[in-house]
A and B are shown apart, each in its own frame.
Chain A
């Protein structure tokens, strides 16, 4: 019934070889740029900046989730529904402001330091979470809401036992998008003294030193890919297998 047989066919093997070839070519390229030498010589520095980066992303995403999901829930409750589209529009417009501008604006109010960066990252990461929470909750089949209500669930039980589990996939997709984008945006924290891998990237750009720049960019990219993968796992684990998403 749900057994998906996926034959490891020729196509898959071909892609594997292409992937290996690209990795080799990429490796040769970054070697050329002096990337590996840099990493060998400064492991502590890269590690410290990576941890700072993870801290920025972790804290800002955690805050964005804990503000965004409840906001999405509130916006789909009966009494707030009429403000929903207005708020989503405003958030949508604010999303078109470049992330650099958001960071610069926050700096003028909060000053410099990691908190400014986190504030900006939270603001920037909020929209996908709110939008997906609203979309996920509004998209729950009204028939099962009626069934739940008719069976005597109160609105809290309906939310936690029916609405959230069914909206979870879409909400998690919003969180995933927000967090992965956040990993990239967090590189700009360096500009407001927030630290992170942006340090290497922007210094590398300023000094026209590809090794420096790659030492920041490659871990950032790896972190983004890892987060994406990790959320994929979380999704499988949280979203009910009864919902046909995976």
Chain B
């Protein structure tokens, strides 16, 4: 979709090339994160695409069309552009800011109004509250969201984002990253995303282009960058905690044990207790007939009970979603001091379990068959069915 062919940029008055013979291709619908140390010409690389910076030699093309041959104004109107300093127009309301490119493209008023509301909702901002605010009446996070949705206004197939979440604190940045990925899953833009934060790169990137002083050192998937760093520079750049960084990358569903052993609300306590004893299970998950998680039972309470499992079920409040990343899951396990966390989908259906060992097994190479205090959890599925 976006192709760089032997692209070189030499700033006037400089001998050293700023961008040195860079070639790579970003497939349609993917996020390509451009990363590297400060001053390695990431911004330069990005700004050559919409010709804010002229290139010295080589070809940059979008959908096979050489950008140098396109009308520069049309080229830019067709590319979403979001920058670190946000660049909202201070004299315009949020509405007018978002409406900028639609107006340049002469959309009619109704269409613009509808689109602005849609985008504000997408950004998680109530249109009736924010529509007519001025940028100075926004928090940093709100301004950044509006900066990003302004770039999305005309639904351009290509987006250029230069450290788009750089101006806000780490916690809000994570929130925005998550929201943006959700949006991207729907809109499937081809995105050049500049950052200097390796965590952000791993989280956001389908591909990562690592630059060192204007040279493309490695262009790879985040996974490969972590597992097979090409050279010393890459290794140092991604950091010594490469293994831990994979936690950012991997989802709960990649590491969880699927279809974990469990029982149903209406099972006989006696039968289940017997089964637990045989299998050395101390706790067991309980679902209803629709496989929705109801909680868990304790063997020592269950073993003398005459009746149904449902009488003794304790609710399970700490759960994760299969789409969350492992770092978030681990953080939940550590902060609640639980050795296991259950993954349920949006309808609270039981999807899998994750314990510290399975979790660590995907990042490290040690793997223990026994699953902590719960005893061994097998992939046996429902006992009663």
Interface residues on A, range: 20 to 34
B87 contacts the other chain (Cβ, under 8 Å)?
A: yes
B65 contacts the other chain (Cβ, under 8 Å)?
A: no
Q: Given the interface contacts A144-B90, A162-B89, does A150 sit within 8 Å of B136 by beta carbon?
A: no
Partner of B76, one of A143, A152, A240, A242: A152
Q: Closest approach, in angstroms, between the C-beta of A84 and any C-beta of chain B?
A: 21
Per the bound structure, the CA–CA distance linking A141 and B85 in Å amounts to 11
Per the bound structure, the CA–CA distance linking A154 and B105 in Å amounts to 12
Per the bound structure, the CA–CA distance linking A165 and B91 in Å amounts to 7
Contact with A along B24-54 (1 / 0, CB 8 A): 0000000000000000000000010010100
Contact with B along A22-60 (1 / 0, CB 8 A): 000000000000000000000000000000000000000
CB closest residue in chain A, given B104: A152
Contact with A along B316-328 (1 / 0, CB 8 A): 0000000000000
Q: Given the interface contacts A151-B104, A157-B104, does A242 sit within 8 Å of B93 by beta carbon?
A: yes
For chain B, residues 59 to 89, give those with C-beta under 8 angstroms from any C-beta of chain A: 73-78, 81, 83, 85-89
Per the bound structure, the CA–CA distance linking A144 and B100 in Å amounts to 12
B91 touches A152 (CB 8 A): no
Per the bound structure, the CA–CA distance linking A154 and B73 in Å amounts to 7
Per the bound structure, the CA–CA distance linking A153 and B100 in Å amounts to 9
Q: Closest approach, in angstroms, between the C-beta of A206 and any C-beta of chain B?
A: 51
Q: Closest approach, in angstroms, between the C-beta of B157 and any C-beta of chain A?
A: 15
Q: Closest approach, in angstroms, between the C-beta of A12 and any C-beta of chain B?
A: 28
Q: Closest approach, in angstroms, between the C-beta of A141 and any C-beta of chain B?
A: 8
Per the bound structure, the CA–CA distance linking A153 and B92 in Å amounts to 15
Contact with B along A132-144 (1 / 0, CB 8 A): 0000000001011
B174 contacts the other chain (Cβ, under 8 Å)?
A: no
Q: Closest approach, in angstroms, between the C-beta of B353 and any C-beta of chain A?
A: 47
Q: Closest approach, in angstroms, between the C-beta of A166 and any C-beta of chain B?
A: 6
B101 touches A151 (CB 8 A): yes
Q: What B residues does A161 contact at CB under 8 A?
A: 89, 100
Interface residues on B, range: 20 to 34
A152 touches B134 (CB 8 A): no
A2 contacts the other chain (Cβ, under 8 Å)?
A: yes
Q: What A residues does B89 contact at CB under 8 A?
A: 144, 147-148, 161-162, 166
Partner of B83, one of A1, A147, A242: A147
Q: What A residues does B76 contact at CB under 8 A?
A: 149-152
Q: Given the interface contacts A147-B89, A162-B89, A240-B91, does A153 sit within 8 Å of B104 by beta carbon?
A: yes
B135 contacts the other chain (Cβ, under 8 Å)?
A: yes
B178 contacts the other chain (Cβ, under 8 Å)?
A: no
B137 contacts the other chain (Cβ, under 8 Å)?
A: yes
A5 contacts the other chain (Cβ, under 8 Å)?
A: no
Q: What B residues does A208 contact at CB under 8 A?
A: none
CB closest residue in chain A, given B80: A151
A152 touches B77 (CB 8 A): yes
Per the bound structure, the CA–CA distance linking A165 and B93 in Å amounts to 13
Per the bound structure, the CA–CA distance linking A153 and B75 in Å amounts to 11
Q: What A residues does B83 contact at CB under 8 A?
A: 143, 146-147, 150
Partner of A150, one of B50, B91, B92, B93: B50
A242 touches B104 (CB 8 A): no
Interface centre among B52, B81, B137 (most CB of A within 10 A): B81
Q: What A residues does B93 contact at CB under 8 A?
A: 242
A78 contacts the other chain (Cβ, under 8 Å)?
A: no
A151 touches B81 (CB 8 A): yes
CB closest residue in chain A, given B94: A242
Q: Closest approach, in angstroms, between the C-beta of A239 and any C-beta of chain B?
A: 8
Partner of A242, one of B74, B75, B85, B91: B91
Q: What B residues does A150 contact at CB under 8 A?
A: 47, 50, 52, 76, 81, 83, 160
Q: Given the interface contacts A150-B52, A151-B76, does A144 sit within 8 Å of B87 by beta carbon?
A: yes
Q: Closest approach, in angstroms, between the C-beta of A3 and any C-beta of chain B?
A: 11
Contact with A along B150-178 (1 / 0, CB 8 A): 10000000001000000000000000000
Q: Closest approach, in angstroms, between the C-beta of A169 and any C-beta of chain B?
A: 10
Q: Closest approach, in angstroms, between the C-beta of A185 and any C-beta of chain B?
A: 33
B77 touches A151 (CB 8 A): yes
Q: What A residues does B150 contact at CB under 8 A?
A: 151
CB closest residue in chain A, given B84: A143
Q: Residues on B close to A: CB < 8 A?
A: 47, 50, 52, 73-78, 81, 83, 85-93, 100-101, 104, 134-137, 150, 160
A-B contact pairs, 27 of them (CB 8 A): A143-B86, A143-B87, A144-B90, A146-B83, A146-B87, A147-B81, A147-B89, A148-B89, A150-B81, A150-B160, A151-B77, A151-B81, A151-B101, A152-B73, A152-B77, A152-B104, A153-B73, A153-B104, A161-B89, A165-B92, A166-B91, A240-B90, A240-B134, A241-B134, A242-B90, A242-B91, A242-B135
Q: Residues on A close to B: CB < 8 A?
A: 1-2, 141, 143-144, 146-154, 157, 161-162, 165-166, 240-244
Besides A147-B83, A150-B160, A242-B93, 4 other A-B contacts (C-beta < 8 A): A147-B81, A150-B50, A240-B92, A242-B92
